[in-house]
Amino acid sequence: RSYVPRYSCFAPSGSMPQLGRPEECSKSLLGRQSGSRKAVLAAVQKAGYLLMNAPDVLKADSEIVLTAVRENGRALKHASKELLSDREVVLAAVRQDGRALQYASKELRADLEVLSAAVSG
């Protein structure tokens, strides 16, 4: 039986992945400028779950959150409350991973288009 690591980080050059916990991956991907918009955007393009380590102000940035949920739908869990009610963000998340529906606002969880996207995506 082979072991599959739970987390992996992407090396900056795109070379072999490095293993580590999410917070360690965040540090290696974001580097010293972990709060910079540019660094967070680059990180969530490769690993959407890293949204969890972004500053709150960037968790409310629709471009960053959209990028994260397109890579990993369940990154929606870490989006700002306002973006959990944003139709475009939620649709992108549930299309990538239907399980992201649980993090959407109550109103969008009842939306037929969102529900349809969640079950077919």
Determine the straight-line distance between the first and last CA of the chain, rounded to whole angstroms: 30
In the chain, what's the furthest Cα-to-Cα distance?
Answer: 44
CA gap 73, 66 in Å, rounded: 9
Predicted TM-score (pTM) of this structure: 0.75
> How is residue 3 written in tokens?
């072991």
> pLDDT tens digit string along 43-91?
999 999 999 999 999 999 999 999 999 999 999 999 999 999 999 999 9
